[in-house]
Structure 1
């Protein structure tokens, strides 16, 4: 049994404020360590003969990340200041963080990385093997934001050359408003956009304060076409449905869309497009052959 004297001696359990303070100090130490272990030459700077600071100077990091020197100094001093996900992203690039270090930075800042991870914990080697085994049936792994986390060869050529799309742009909703080949491949584009927006709104209700979702929504809102659909406030859940694609290599394909959920919640899922008729099956087989020959 813990006495009051013992509690006073050891201190009470960590409060949210204490946890926040600990994170700030860990973040400050992490930034200092990374800064001190990056040679000026690694970021295109000249070392010079009078440099005493190991690694980069604070003002150099601030300049490269396009933030104020005073503000960055406060960050390394563990001051209680707000850090946006855009600034964290800039610091991650400036400090040459690898994926694990980048994830650690965002965790210490108590923020969500707006960039879809190239290596997602959901995408296990077993799931990648399943995607490959499904060929020539197009299949991919998505999260509830429509980020495309992984895909098989046939899916990679179904709507566009997915390999040529930067990882941060591999999002079905974003591509449906910004990528001309993707847009032209969807036979019923307006209907598809409305359905995706309605599902996205329903999913976002549980992530209203999540910076990752807010960042994606901000990008989408630059499209007047999206704003018109979004302002209808339509909401819809996930349902299997038939889709038609106009592939640039093999022609028109009709498929049945199915979501295979990877957990109890409607989050990560495997999306499959089974051919709806024999002609579509043959065309998917041809598309897969083309993908294998690349």
Structure 2
């Protein structure tokens, strides 16, 4: 059901008020330069929530757009809303109360800020089902279209198999895709019946002939560091080393950091 203009204005004011009450220091961001307004900038909040800065700006401006339950959950977590504020957010957005919404994998705000601190090195945090829970600008540029969807969180597995740009970026697409699918199967096996995994796997099977061929083979693999060859516009092929760090409190959540080797440019 479309939101009415008054409801959109109230949602806009609520989001802005909650964004302005959070200081950069509270979420582990450096305080750089003077700020015209208190609290976080829109683009900082969008990065913490793992959504497009442009799309979040539209939402806060009161434009007539619809946010998914997952996006609202991500915003509520980034804004550190309590359960009453979270329910109010969902009601203003025209959804059922947050308690009835599908839960998203939780990520502490101070943890979500880590990729921003690692800039300019590409970095992101992924959940067990490969949802991109946090990322920095360098990662957004390295993996084009990964965070473009406005109505749901970015997902690395969805990008690799369903986004055409992935086949241009990943020089060794097939072995990279096979490895990712094997790691997804390993993690999905720990959560039988979990809709976060079953819906993603159904979507990948529906959209990718490779997944339909490879999934029944039951390949499994653990997450680890390694190397990737990635194409960069204007820079050719670059050999990246990447390191994976598992979070102590949430071991299925993984911080991945990339560093390039300039001598490998070709």
For residues 202 and 99 of structure 1, the distance between their equivalents in structure 2, rounded to whole angstroms, comes to 36
| The one of 147, 161, 176 aligned to 2:131 | 147
User: For residue 160 of structure 2, what is the aligned residue in structure 1?
Assistant: 176
Matched, 1:206 2:201: no
1:42-53 map, 5 Å? none
What is the number of equivalent residue pairs in this alignment? 186
Return the index of the structure with the highest Cα Rg.
Answer: 1
8 Å CA contact retained: 2:119, 2:137: yes
User: Structure 1 stretches of 5 or more lacking a match?
Assistant: 1-34, 44-87, 107-111, 284-294
8 Å CA contact retained: 2:147, 2:154: no
Cα deviation, 1:236-273, whole Å, max 9, x if unaligned, reads: 11222111111225332211121111125531121111
CA RMSD of aligned residues (A): 3.3
1:17-166 map, 5 Å? 96=91, 98=93, 102-106=97-101, 112-113=102-103, 121-124=106-109, 126-166=110-150
- After TM superposition, the runs of 4+ consecutive aligned structure 1 residues lying more than 4 A away are 38-43, 95-102
Matched, 1:255 2:236: no
SS at match of 1:164: coil
User: For residue 229 of structure 2, what is the aligned residue in structure 1?
Assistant: 244
TM-score under structure 1 length normalisation: 0.55
CA distance 1:99–1:206, shift in 2 (3 Å): farther
User: For residue 178 of structure 2, what is the aligned residue in structure 1?
Assistant: 194
8 Å CA contact retained: 1:159, 1:245: no
Shift of 1:178: 1.3
SS at match of 2:201: helix
Cα deviation, 1:15-34, whole Å, max 9, x if unaligned, reads: xxxxxxxxxxxxxxxxxxxx
For residues 112 and 94 of structure 2, the distance between their equivalents in structure 1, rounded to whole angstroms, comes to 19
User: Structure 2 stretches of 5 or more lacking a match?
Assistant: 9-68, 71-86
SS at match of 2:137: coil
Shift of 1:279: 4.0
| The one of 197, 222, 225 aligned to 2:210 | 225
For residues 94 and 126 of structure 2, the distance between their equivalents in structure 1, rounded to whole angstroms, comes to 19
For residues 195 and 178 of structure 2, the distance between their equivalents in structure 1, rounded to whole angstroms, comes to 23
8 Å CA contact retained: 1:175, 1:183: no
For residues 228 and 149 of structure 1, the distance between their equivalents in structure 2, rounded to whole angstroms, comes to 29
